Amino acid sequence: MQDVLNFVLADRHARPLLKREVSQLLARPNILRIAYLDERGDPIVHPVWYYYSGGKFLIATDRIGKKAKMLQKNPVVYFLVDESSHENGTLGLRGKGIARVIDDPLYATRVTRRNVKRYLGKLQSKTAKAILAMGPDSCVIEITPLYLATWKF
């Protein structure tokens, strides 16, 4: 976790996550929901696979898809990662960030591979191979958070 990143409490009735809990949450294969505006200014929310590294959320997506096109025009995003379990309770983080779309097939293939391993656990299944084949036609979205708001109930 970056020490310079601003952490705030998301809900006054909850308690904030400790930095260790934030790191643990981001290490688990939870879905990140990314919100942005479409060409008409209407909000869109997409669930995506991600990993967090170097203070950024890394996502691979279709290079000619709507998500990449819209984020190139307006890079401001809102994001959410949360979970609820008997073991950990209900917890999560959300925040605002700036997305950078990087059209680099090799980088996108690396991000795709890491996310397939993270979410599917292996690279050899039929599903994994189909997703890995999309890597060269993908781009990378790097989201740099401006702040993180955390909560735990």
Whole-number Å distance between alpha carbons of 28 and 9: 21
| pLDDT given for residue 72 in this prediction | 97
Mean pLDDT by 10 residues, the chain (153 residues): 66 89 95 97 97 97 97 98 91 97 97 98 96 96 96 93
Give this prediction's pTM: 0.91
| pLDDT given for residue 89 in this prediction | 87
| pLDDT given for residue 4 in this prediction | 53
Show contacts of 72-76: CB within 8 Å, 24+ apart.
Answer: 72/101, 73/39, 74/36, 74/37, 75/99, 75/100, 75/101, 76/36, 76/37
Quick one: DSSP state of residue 30? P
CA dihedral sign, ordered 37, 105, 130, 27: negative
* CATH no. for 6-152: 2.30.110.10
